[in-house]
Amino acid sequence: MALFPLPDSYRQSLVSVGQGHQLYVEESGNPDGVPVVVLHGGPGGGCSPFMRRFFDPRRFRIILFDQRGSGQSRPLASIRDNTTAHLIADLESLREALGVQQWRVFGGSWGVTLALAYLAAHPQRVAGMVLRGVFLCRQQDRDWLYTSGGAARLFPEAWQVLQQQAPPGEGNLLQRYHQGLQGDRARYHARSWCNWESTLALTSVLPPGDASDDELCMAMQETHYFLNDGFLATPLLAACAGMTLPVEIVHGSRDFVCPADQALALHQVLPGSRLHWVEGGSHSSSDPAIANALVAAVKRLEKRIDD
């Protein structure tokens, strides 16, 4: 199914959520429509106008926002008072500020992690979910990304570059990059960090150099969260097991960021979930096959809720 034309945003704002953080929020589509909140990946990935195109703007009130330390939220790239518990509280603050009683939740990659953590904390606020590129943030999932026994075996040259460009010092790869991101060469190391994920996502890799603000946010938040086990008090599968709300799961067969066993494991604990494999699909929502599957998933979810 084709993407919808890009709707203009009708409201943009900075919403204060405490501890000095302000979230960038934008709304598009139908102000009186069905509310859907979009949770971006990363952590630290930020939202983009492209994310509006999965939803019929005549039907939906499309709510995009940048999580703490991401995108246009302020302070830029901040990891202070930035945990999953803070992000869940931010979602509730945002929901109340926007006058929403219950919403659909749409998330990809880390956005799935946050969606599941939010569902576990506030199940009555979620009418249904569309989840893409499932990331459960277990130790094995992080090891796949950042140890030699995981994706490094599929992309050995890119893995070698990631190691060669790593900040000097002691500790494992995550620890060294996190430390390097606090120093004078933070943007150089952020570029290297993000290029590794781009390789796994089968998207464009940039030449070595200083990172953009978006890359800095991604590198800062990912190393911060992953060194702290995603700040998850309870494993997500256990926290959400048995919940019967309608869930549409979309996962690409060539997703090298989030191996497919994560999508299957989630499907098996959610009785109301349906799992849709996208043959040849990669991790990115901009992959045409994944993007079309997401449009179809949103439509299926609405039909299930309406029925």
Catalytic residues: 109, 255, 283
**pLDDT at site 151:** 98
The amino acid at 28: S
**pLDDT at site 83:** 98
As given in the structure block, the two tokens for residue 128 are 């249904």
C-alpha neighbours within 13 Å on the C-beta side of residue 204: 3
- Could you tell me if 150 and 199 are in contact, meaning their C-beta atoms sit under 8 angstroms apart? no
> Taking the chain (307 residues) in consecutive chunks of 10 residues, what is each chunk's mean pLDDT?
94 97 98 98 97 98 98 98 98 97 98 98 98 98 98 98 95 97 97 98 96 98 98 97 98 98 98 98 97 98 95
As given in the structure block, the two tokens for residue 73 are 């939220």
Domain 9-139+230-306: which topology? Rossmann fold (3.40.50)
- Kindly tell me the burial class for residue 277, based on how many C-beta atoms sit within 10 Å of its own C-beta (0-12, 13-18, 19 or more): middle
Whether the predicted model's global pTM rises above the 0.95 cut: yes
**pLDDT at site 307:** 84
Q: What are the domain boundaries of the chain?
A: 9-139+230-306, 146-228
Rounded distance between C-alpha atoms, residue 284 and residue 39, angstroms: 14
**pLDDT at site 1:** 77
**pLDDT at site 258:** 98
